[in-house]
């Protein structure tokens, strides 16, 4: 029996306890030894709860108990998680975490400490909820050079965009529904402004490219400016609006971004709806590989954490090599990335048509009843910086959304 | 530097050499030591080829060289692969294979030998080409009880069905195209009759359920009877025809099958086209997880093999526990599985309508110009054995295809 401690008894923490309790027999077979939750750390009390007899308020009890071999950190936030995790690793305890803020901010340092102590720091649940993606990048896609990662990494924004499209709601209505259903926090900024997806793409990119991608270097746009009219235009064009996180290696240069895109119906990410996530990985030899599943939720995320606990127990005396160097990977801007854009214009098409053709050549015009006083158009492929220069001279320019791939 | 030997210099074998040559620098980083191909075994000679200086015709040279730590078996077929692999493992050499016939026939025995010798027998490439699915089932989805696996596991049949649908070809034309493009063998029986998919679902089910699923117990239907009319009916119903392999745990009983299904457009497997494969895994806590990628091809398959080599090198002195007991998992028949069926009838609808309604209640009728002398109908949910009894009394009954989920 391997003793573990769970730091934090919130949504994910209580899910971890539930998953271990429910599957104790099969976990015993899979680990060869079984898992015993010796402590749960939380500031709160839970009278009458299953964890009442093992609840502690003082982290040092866990730190100083040599019987605890694996620490599960599911508190969220950088502090005090960082301090607790670092102390645990330095004390020779394996750590499994679902905490993307922690991993994005301190991943390489914590991996390094684990390596030096021949133990493991595992974080599958920090990206993509139940979807196995960290371990496949780290262990299954190792033969090829990964050139691109692209995906829907945030369930909250995907739920909002799905509801706007399916129910015809505006952004505020969809956000309210997400909050009422527990898919968005009361302060939803980290999700809707793209910061959550930015941390996740930084983690995946660091693992895929080997050097550390600083999430603060990633170009980030959220979805709070997406309107009902944008959704209507997307439908007219046979597309859905999705918040895509991506990182790309082109000619030895790297760039990464999080931004809303129009995704055509022929694209596999088009059909990823609600709180589901999906991640594409591309290499010259493996081609496209995609991972899909529930990106959030108590039990799916808890399953990913517990799978890491199983792996930690199977590797108690063996560091699993993770290819994430602390050396910083310099990112270039996105200004040379070439793509089509959807552009929204206030005013009459007849007033601007000549100017638009002068700047962008042959474009495709589109209109919708949701935007009676304006119209839209789709450009051919154009570099971001060229687009930015040219679009400035379009009178009535009201906004633009990038397009993933090409429209049919 | 870890020395390896490659058994078989055919499509996958030459791909393995190419992938290792191309990525030698990054493989050195990822393994910490680098990979050296010391021998390639083949009966043929390859004068002038890169492997000429390391080519051997006698397996014993490899077996008796203690420097060879990892043997890559990419010959295909059960013999002599089985003999070579078993001898390698007994001699303390790790083995990585892409050989689904070998794994389906002797998986648990070979895993057992590897365990006893504290080495590894790895076989990611035996299912799903480049798609990481074996390792995720073995290491990432371990916290939950897997209740169902369902997927498109054979690229050849999926290519044929895709071409029949997209190009309007009949089965023979599509098969010929598959052969001309190297996606089908000259003797295509193993693919088109479903035997290849049967072996793959048996491997995945054994790993997911823990006990050994004998591929000969899996109910199997191929696609050679699928006609242009079937494809046309599928389109009328908003579906695609796909060869699905699945295994299911229901009320503690297990059944597995490979058969063509009508898959509705709303289903994520609908859009999996050409030689792509996709695998769904479902558990009560993880929900649905899907893996998608190129299911065949020289380089994608070779990448999966080389990733196993990397893992073997990272675990030279540590057996990675694989949960596949030699104990046989008894499968029940599919007779109690409940689903809708599409039924094709020769003759006039007016002549059979009463009989059909008498047997199946309210059905949905469908017709297509491709079948001027017949018609089709779709039943409500019905158990397989009840369907089989009732359909016998329909005059002009000409065939049936199962339906995945429900039509919209």
B137 pLDDT band, cuts 50/70/90, is: very high
Chain B residue with Cα closest to A16: B143
Q: d(Cα B299, Cα B296) in Å, to the nearest integer? A: 8
Q: pLDDT value at position A37?
A: 98
**Chain A residues with CB-CB distance to B289 below 8 A:** 130-132, 291-294
Touching B: A residues 13-52, CB under 8 Å = 19-20, 22-23, 26-27, 29-30, 32
pTM of the model as a whole: 0.93
> Is A306–B143 a contact, with Cβ atoms under 8 angstroms apart?
yes
Residue B240: is its pLDDT beyond 80?
yes
Tell me whether strands A397-403 and A341-346 are parallel, antiparallel or unpaired. Answer: antiparallel
Is-contact A123 A101, C-beta < 8 A?
no
Tokens of A33: 């030894």
Residue A23: is its pLDDT beyond 80?
yes
Q: pLDDT value at position B183?
A: 86
Chain B: nearest CA to A15, how far in angstroms?
10
Touching A: B residues 104-133, CB under 8 Å = 124, 130-132
Chain B residue with Cα closest to A29: B323
* Mean local confidence (pLDDT), B307-325: 90
Cα–Cα separations (whole angstroms), residue B300 to A133, A185, B42, B101, B143: 18, 41, 22, 19, 29
Q: Which of B290, B303, B315 sits opposite A143 (nearest CB)?
A: B303
Residue matched to tokens 């803020």? A101
Least Cα distance to A105 among A254, A212, A251, A258 occurs for A212
Q: pLDDT value at position A287?
A: 93
> Is B26–A145 a contact, with Cβ atoms under 8 angstroms apart?
yes
**Chain A residues with CB-CB distance to B318 below 8 A:** 315, 318
Can you tell me whether residue A74 is helix, strand or coil? Answer: coil
Query: pLDDT by residue (tens digit) across B15-31?
Result: 999 999 999 999 998 88
Could you give the domains of chain B?
2-129+298-327 (3.40.50.720), 138-294 (3.30.360.10), 338-403 (3.30.70.120)
> Is A140–B19 a contact, with Cβ atoms under 8 angstroms apart?
no
Query: pLDDT by residue (tens digit) across A31-68?
Result: 888 999 999 999 999 999 999 999 999 999 999 999 99
If you average pLDDT over every residue of chain B, what do you get? 95
* Mean local confidence (pLDDT), B159-166: 96
Q: Which residues contact A204 (CB under 8 A, 6 or more apart)?
A: A127, A133, A134, A137, A149, A247, A279
Q: pLDDT value at position B292?
A: 95
B266 pLDDT band, cuts 50/70/90, is: confident
Q: pLDDT value at position B10?
A: 94
Q: pLDDT value at position A321?
A: 80
> Is B290–A285 a contact, with Cβ atoms under 8 angstroms apart?
no
> Is B27–A318 a contact, with Cβ atoms under 8 angstroms apart?
no
Tokens of B182: 């190297």
Is-contact A231 A171, C-beta < 8 A?
no
Touching A: B residues 280-319, CB under 8 Å = 283, 285-294, 297, 299-300, 302-307, 309-311, 314-315, 318
Q: What are the strands, taking DSSP E only, across B22-164?
A: 35-41, 55-56, 68-73, 94-97, 121-122, 148-152
Chain A: nearest CA to B3, how far in angstroms?
16
Q: pLDDT value at position B151?
A: 97
* Active-site residue set of A: 200
Chain B: nearest CA to A374, how far in angstroms?
33
Q: pLDDT value at position A296?
A: 80
B192 pLDDT band, cuts 50/70/90, is: very high
If you average pLDDT over every residue of chain A, what do you get? 95
Q: pLDDT value at position B14?
A: 96
Q: How many helices (H) and strands (E) does chain A have?
A: 14, 20
DSSP one-letter code for B331: B
Percent of chain B's residues with pLDDT above 70:
100
Helical H segments across A99-182, by residue range: 100-116, 134-135, 155-167, 171-180
DSSP one-letter code for A394: S
The DSSP-derived string for B170-187 is -HHHHHHHHHHTTSS-SS
> Is B142–A22 a contact, with Cβ atoms under 8 angstroms apart?
no
Chain A: nearest CA to B150, how far in angstroms?
14
Query: pLDDT by residue (tens digit) across A190-220?
Result: 999 999 999 999 999 999 999 999 999 999 9
Residue B408: is its pLDDT beyond 80?
no
Straight-line distance from the first to the last Cα atom of chain A, in angstroms, rounded to the nearest whole number = 57
* Mean local confidence (pLDDT), B144-171: 96
Q: pLDDT value at position A323?
A: 83
A29 pLDDT band, cuts 50/70/90, is: confident
Query: pLDDT by residue (tens digit) across A236-275?
Result: 999 999 999 999 999 999 999 999 999 998 888 998 999 9
Q: Which of B302, B310, B321 sits opposite A142 (nearest CB)?
A: B310
Q: pLDDT value at position B186?
A: 85
Tell me whether strands B94-97 and B239-250 are parallel, antiparallel or unpaired. Answer: unpaired
Q: pLDDT value at position A340?
A: 97
A368 pLDDT band, cuts 50/70/90, is: very high
Give yes or no for A140 touching B (CB within 8 A). yes
**Chain B residues with CB-CB distance to A314 below 8 A:** 320-321
Query: pLDDT by residue (tens digit) across B51-84?
Result: 999 999 999 999 999 999 999 999 999 999 999 9
Chain A residue with Cα closest to B293: A289
Is-contact B143 B285, C-beta < 8 A?
yes
> Is A303–B283 a contact, with Cβ atoms under 8 angstroms apart?
yes
Q: pLDDT value at position A185?
A: 83
Can you tell me whether residue B287 is helix, strand or coil? Answer: strand
Q: pLDDT value at position A14?
A: 96
Q: d(Cα A272, Cα A404) in Å, to the nearest integer? A: 14
> Is B323–A30 a contact, with Cβ atoms under 8 angstroms apart?
yes
Can you tell me whether residue B350 is helix, strand or coil? Answer: helix
Give yes or no for A355 touching B (CB within 8 A). no
Q: Best interface-test mutation with A: which of B283, B286, B305 has the largest number of A CBs within 10 A?
A: B286
A375 pLDDT band, cuts 50/70/90, is: very high
Residue B320: is its pLDDT beyond 90?
no
Least Cα distance to B183 among B371, B11, B302 occurs for B11
Query: pLDDT by residue (tens digit) across A289-319?
Result: 999 999 888 999 999 999 999 999 999 888 8
> Is B292–A289 a contact, with Cβ atoms under 8 angstroms apart?
yes
B117 pLDDT band, cuts 50/70/90, is: very high
CA B230 distance to own-chain centroid = 23
Residue B358: is its pLDDT beyond 80?
yes
Q: Which of A130, A141, A144 sits opposite B289 (nearest CB)?
A: A130
């Amino acid at each position: 029996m391997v003793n573990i401690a769970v730091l934090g008894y919130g949504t994910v923490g209580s899910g971890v306890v539930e998953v271990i309790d429910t599957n104790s027999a099969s976990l015993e077979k899979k680990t060869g030894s079984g898992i015993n939750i010796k402590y749960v750390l939380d500031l709160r009390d839970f009278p009458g709860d299953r964890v009442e007899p093992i609840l502690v308020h003082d982290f040092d009890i866990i730190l100083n108990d040599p019987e605890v071999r694996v620490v599960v950190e599911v508190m969220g936030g950088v502090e005090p998680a960082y301090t607790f995790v670092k102390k645990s690793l330095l004390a020779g305890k394996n750590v499994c975490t679902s905490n993307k803020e922690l991993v994005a901010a301190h991943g390489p340092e914590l991996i390094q400490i684990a390596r030096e102590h021949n133990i493991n720091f595992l974080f599958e649940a920090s990206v993509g909820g139940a979807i196995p993606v960290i371990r496949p990048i780290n262990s299954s896609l190792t033969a090829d050079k990964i050139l691109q990662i692209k995906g829907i990494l945030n369930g909250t924004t995907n739920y909002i965009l799905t509801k706007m499209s399916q129910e015809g709601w505006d952004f505020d209505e969809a956000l309210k529904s997400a909050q009422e259903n527990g898919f968005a926090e009361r302060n939803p900024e980290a999700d809707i402004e793209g910061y959550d997806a930015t941390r996740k793409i930084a983690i995946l990119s660091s693992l895929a490219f080997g050097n550390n991608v600083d999430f603060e270097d990633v170009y980030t746009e959220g979805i709070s400016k997406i309107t009902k009219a944008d959704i209507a235009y997307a439908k007219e064009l046979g597309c859905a609006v999705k918040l895509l996180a991506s990182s790309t290696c082109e000619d030895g240069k790297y760039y990464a971004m999080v931004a809303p895109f129009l995704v055509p119906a022929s694209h596999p990410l088009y059909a990823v709806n609600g709180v589901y996530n999906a991640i594409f990985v591309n290499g010259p030899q493996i081609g496209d590989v995609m991972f899909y599943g529930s990106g959030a939720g108590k039990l799916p995320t808890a399953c990913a954490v517990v799978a890491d606990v199983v792996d930690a127990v199977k590797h108690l005396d063996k560091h699993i090599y993770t290819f994430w160097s602390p050396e910083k990977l310099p990112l270039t801007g996105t200004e040379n990335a070439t793509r089509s854009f959807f552009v929204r214009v206030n005013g009459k098409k007849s007033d601007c048509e000549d100017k638009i053709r002068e700047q962008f050549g042959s474009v495709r015009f589109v209109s919708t009843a949701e935007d009676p006083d304006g119209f839209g158009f789709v450009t051919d492929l154009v570099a971001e910086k060229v687009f930015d220069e040219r679009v400035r001279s379009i009178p009535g320019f009201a906004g633009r959304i990038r397009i993933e791939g090409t429209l049919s």
